[in-house]
């Protein structure tokens, strides 16, 4: 019959016959078995590896072991079936090098090496779990339990390993029992299809060695628990019987009326009752010292010794004459403008500025012109014949990490009769510069015409805002700014947290070193994936693809991998939006590698 696909002529001779290896795909499970067994210390596991001096040579125990593991993975449940498969199964023909032990030899090997086979199968299953070759559902979280970027398969404790090994032993015992039973009565059950394995063959040797060290590392930990991708996370019991999450338990004391956090603590203990005493003590200390709320505005009774100490510490840290702390980073530019602006001033606004900055400029009631930071040469033309010019911009763009070209802007404005440059350094303070003083330190700018405002809620991890002016301007802000005069300041807890953060930055320079190392590692990895990333130490990295829909799908895919990389499309973002990656000093190398691996799979 013609017109159909035709196979090769069985009797046709070929000069160069195809190799058996050509029939086995690169990702076949049988290749995993082959590499795995070749790396095992069979003698140490209890196999007899020295051949008899007399008689017919026996089969290599490594070869027999490969046959048993193949049967275990494919549920071939009798020695006779294994003999049959060795003669007709192309994968086994490849694995065993065309050798086909008879069923009695297979049964004797199983009987004489039962304990050693059990140990090997256990190690093989643990290796598969270690390499994420088996899928398992994630556990949901609720309340104050926060799931870490570390699923349950990558968290190990003495009890968990022991329980899992017992499960594996029981499963293997059942398998060996089924083989023995099938040896007596042939089982002609249908072969079930093997779940296709995913993995990295090239990493097997390294993973096998790491697996042997895993229990040692776990036992060496103070609490005998090990989390691989988020080292600080721990498994915690929940109210669900028999269930646990790997993560953190955040304890907080909150003002019932205003929902302000008075004190907080992060623990790895799942039971809230054990943590209540300590967090209550911290809350009581804060309330006893400064009260539950800030009570009133700074010009009334809202200024405390703690707020004055924070202002002094901020000014000392960044090297300014003064610092003004206020209720919100969102209001910081408004506060600065209210203190500095005069009716005769002309305002130049960065076109892509954050909505809070644009709103602050609009609040002045003065007309303004816009400029693009990638075209600073246009500023001279825009600012010509404008009187005193107030140029308002961001030190570091919050969505793209782009750094303000300050030197070019200063050069362009020097042709004006008078000017001041007002910079919102929300994403520079605590991050940019050798000591974290911000964008001006990074750019080595000491121009007196530049004045900054910032937030306490980004790198410093608290809440509130600040202006970092010279002393005269600081006094004007306190006298003129309604954002300062009429608004309540941050709570005592937030002031204390910001103060502690500044002390940490000053005393622990290794934090910034870790941050820069993480930024460099991630940006190099992104470049290798074909994603553009600059070479600055700024920890804001945008991913911009051809459509918003594509980026939303990528963001959702990363979330399913345990990675929060939000798709952002709000005012000031590029057309179509972007995905923003924000690196911290606390990120670990495994976490960054996990992100890069996930991006490689999803892109």
pLDDT digits over 307-347, tens only?
888 899 999 999 999 999 988 888 899 999 999 988 888 88
What's the angle, vertex CA 508, arms to CA 505 and CA 511, rounded to 5? Answer: 80
Task: Judge whether 427 lies within some domain.
Answer: yes
- Domain around 521: 510-602
Q: Are residues 48 and 27 in the same domain?
A: yes
Confirm if 522 and 581 have CB atoms less than 8 A apart: yes
Least confident of 2-6, 88-92, 588-592: 2-6
CATH of the domain at 553: 3.90.1150.10
Mean model confidence pLDDT for the chain: 75
Q: Are residues 575 and 428 in the same domain?
A: no
SS3 596: helix
Give the pLDDT of residue 202: 41
Q: Are residues 405 and 550 in the same domain?
A: no
SS3 123: helix
More confident residue, 114 or 374: 374
Burial 277-288 (b: 16+ CB within 10 A, else e): eebeebbeebbe
For 554, other C-beta atoms within 10 Å of its C-beta total 19
The mean per-residue pLDDT over the stretch 381-393 comes to 83
Q: Are residues 317 and 398 in the same domain?
A: yes
Task: Judge whether 393 lies within some domain.
Answer: yes
**CA atoms of 357 and 169, how far apart (whole Å):** 64
State which of 148-152, 296-300, 520-524 shows the largest mean pLDDT. 520-524
**CA atoms of 81 and 103, how far apart (whole Å):** 8
Task: Judge whether 558 lies within some domain.
Answer: yes
Task: Judge whether 339 lies within some domain.
Answer: yes
Output the CA–CA distances (angstroms, integers) from residue 556 to 137, 217, 553, 579, in the order listed: 17, 34, 5, 11
The mean per-residue pLDDT over the stretch 496-515 comes to 84
SS3 478: helix
**CA atoms of 456 and 258, how far apart (whole Å):** 19
Q: Are residues 432 and 413 in the same domain?
A: yes
Q: Are residues 353 and 484 in the same domain?
A: yes
Q: Are residues 533 and 427 in the same domain?
A: no
More confident residue, 409 or 163: 409
Spell out the SS3 assignment of 173-219. HHHHHHHHHHHHCCCCCCCCCCCCCCCCHHHHHHHHHHHHHHHHHHH
Task: Judge whether 142 lies within some domain.
Answer: no
**CA atoms of 9 and 11, how far apart (whole Å):** 5
Q: What's the domain count of the chain?
A: 4
Q: Are residues 411 and 430 in the same domain?
A: yes
Of 163, 185, 220, which residue is a domain's last? Answer: 220
Confirm if 490 and 456 have CB atoms less than 8 A apart: yes
The rounded percent of the chain whose pLDDT value lies above 90 is 7
Above 90 in pLDDT, residue 286?
Answer: no
Give the pLDDT of residue 466: 92
Give the pLDDT of residue 282: 46
Of 193, 220, 247, which residue is a domain's last? Answer: 220
Q: How many CA atoms lie within 13 A of 181 on its CB side?
A: 10
For 329, other C-beta atoms within 10 Å of its C-beta total 22
The mean per-residue pLDDT over the stretch 265-269 comes to 57
Q: Are residues 339 and 242 in the same domain?
A: no
CATH of the domain at 443: 3.40.640.10
Q: Are residues 483 and 434 in the same domain?
A: yes
Give the pLDDT of residue 493: 78
Burial of 56 (C-beta count, 10 Å sphere; 0-12/13-18/19+): exposed
State which of 26-30, 105-109, 145-149, 419-423 shows the largest mean pLDDT. 419-423
Residue 485 dihedral angles phi and psi, to the nearest 5°: -70, -40
Above 90 in pLDDT, residue 204?
Answer: no
Give the pLDDT of residue 125: 53
pLDDT digits over 45-58, tens only?
778 777 776 677 88
Q: CA torsion 64→65→66→68, rounded to 10°?
A: 90
Q: Are residues 463 and 363 in the same domain?
A: yes
Q: CA torsion 482→394→359→310, rounded to 10°?
A: -30
Which distant-in-sequence residues (6+ apart) come within 8 Å of 265 by Cβ?
Answer: 250, 251, 252, 275, 278, 279, 282
Above 60 in pLDDT, residue 35?
Answer: yes
Q: Are residues 314 and 456 in the same domain?
A: yes
128 — pLDDT class (breaks 50, 70, 90): low
Which helix H or strand E contains 502, and what residues bound it? helix 492-507
**CA atoms of 150 and 312, how far apart (whole Å):** 41
SS3 420: strand
Of 452, 487, 507, which residue is a domain's last? Answer: 507
Give the pLDDT of residue 33: 86
Cross-strand pairs, 237: 244
Task: Judge whether 11 lies within some domain.
Answer: no
Confirm if 125 and 95 have CB atoms less than 8 A apart: no
pLDDT digits over 507-555, tens only?
888 888 888 999 999 999 899 988 888 888 888 888 888 887 888 888 8
The mean per-residue pLDDT over the stretch 442-459 comes to 88
Q: What is the pTM of this model?
A: 0.53
């Amino acid at each position: 019959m013609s017109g159909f696909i035709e196979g090769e002529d069985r009797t046709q001779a070929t000069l160069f016959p195809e190799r058996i290896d050509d029939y086995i795909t690169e990702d076949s499970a049988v290749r995993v078995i082959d590499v795995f067994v070749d790396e095992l210390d069979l003698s140490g596991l209890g196999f007899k590896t020295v051949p008899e001096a007399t008689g017919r040579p026996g089969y290599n125990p490594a070869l027999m072991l490969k046959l048993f593991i193949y049967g275990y993975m494919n549920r071939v449940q009798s020695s006779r079936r294994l003999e049959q498969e060795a003669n007709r199964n192309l994968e086994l023909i490849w694995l065993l090098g065309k050798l086909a032990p008879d069923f009695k030899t297979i049964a004797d090997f199983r009987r004489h090496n039962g304990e050693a086979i059990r140990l090997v199968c256990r190690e093989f299953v643990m290796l598969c779990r270690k390499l994420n070759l088996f899928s398992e559902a994630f556990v949901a979280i609720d309340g104050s339990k926060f799931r870490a970027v570390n699923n349950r398969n990558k968290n190990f404790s003495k009890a968990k390993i022991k329980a899992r090994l017992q499960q594996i032993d029981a499963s293997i015992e059942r398998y060996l029992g089924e083989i023995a039973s099938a040896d007596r009565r042939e089982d002609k059950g249908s072969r079930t299809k093997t779940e296709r394995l995913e993995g990295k063959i090239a990493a097997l040797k390294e993973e096998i060695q790491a697996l042997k060290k895993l229990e040692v590392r776990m036992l060496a930990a103070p609490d005998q628990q090990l989390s691989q991708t988020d080292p600080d996370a721990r498994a915690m019991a929940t109210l669900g019987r028999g269930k646990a999450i790997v993560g953190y338990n955040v304890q907080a004391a909150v003002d019932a009326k205003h929902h302000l956090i008075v004190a907080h603590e992060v623990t790895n203990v799942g039971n809230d009752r054990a943590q209540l005493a300590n967090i209550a003590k911290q809350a009581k200390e804060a309330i006893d010292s400064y009260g539950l709320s800030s009570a009133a505005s700074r010009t009334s009774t809202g200024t405390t010794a703690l707020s004055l100490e924070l202002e002094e510490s901020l000014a000392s840290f960044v090297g300014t004459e003064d610092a003004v702390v206020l209720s919100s980073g969102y209001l910081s530019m408004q506060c600065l403008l209210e203190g500095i602006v005069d009716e005769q001033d002309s305002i130049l606004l960065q076109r892509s500025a954050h909505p809070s900055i644009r709103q602050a400029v609009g609040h002045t009631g003065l007309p303004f012109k816009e400029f693009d930071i990638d075209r600073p040469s246009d500023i001279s033309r825009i600012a010509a014949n404008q009187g005193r010019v107030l140029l308002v911009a961001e030190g570091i763009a919050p969505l793209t990490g782009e750094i303000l070209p300050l030197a070019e802007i200063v050069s362009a404005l020097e042709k004006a009769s008078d000017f001041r440059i007002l910079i919102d350094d929300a994403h520079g303070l605590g991050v940019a510069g050798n000591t974290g003083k911000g964008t001006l330190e990074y750019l080595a700018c000491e121009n007196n015409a530049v004045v900054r405002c910032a937030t306490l809620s980004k790198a410093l991890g608290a809440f509130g805002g600040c202006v970092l002016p010279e002393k005269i301007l600081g006094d004007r802000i306190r006298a003129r700014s309604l954002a300062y005069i009429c608004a309540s300041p941050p709570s005592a807890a937030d002031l204390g947290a910001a103060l502690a953060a500044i002390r940490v930055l000053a005393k622990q320079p290794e934090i910034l070193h870790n941050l820069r190392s993480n930024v460099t590692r991630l940006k190099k990895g992104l470049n290798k994936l074909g994603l553009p990333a600059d070479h600055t130490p700024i920890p804001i990295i945008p991913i911009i693809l051809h459509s918003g829909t594509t980026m939303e799908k990528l963001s959702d895919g990363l979330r399913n991998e345990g990675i929060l990389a939000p798709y952002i499309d709000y005012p000031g973002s590029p057309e179509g939006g972007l995905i923003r990656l924000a690196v911290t000093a606390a990120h670990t190398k495994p976490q960054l590698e996990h992100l890069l691996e996930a991006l490689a799979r999803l892109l």
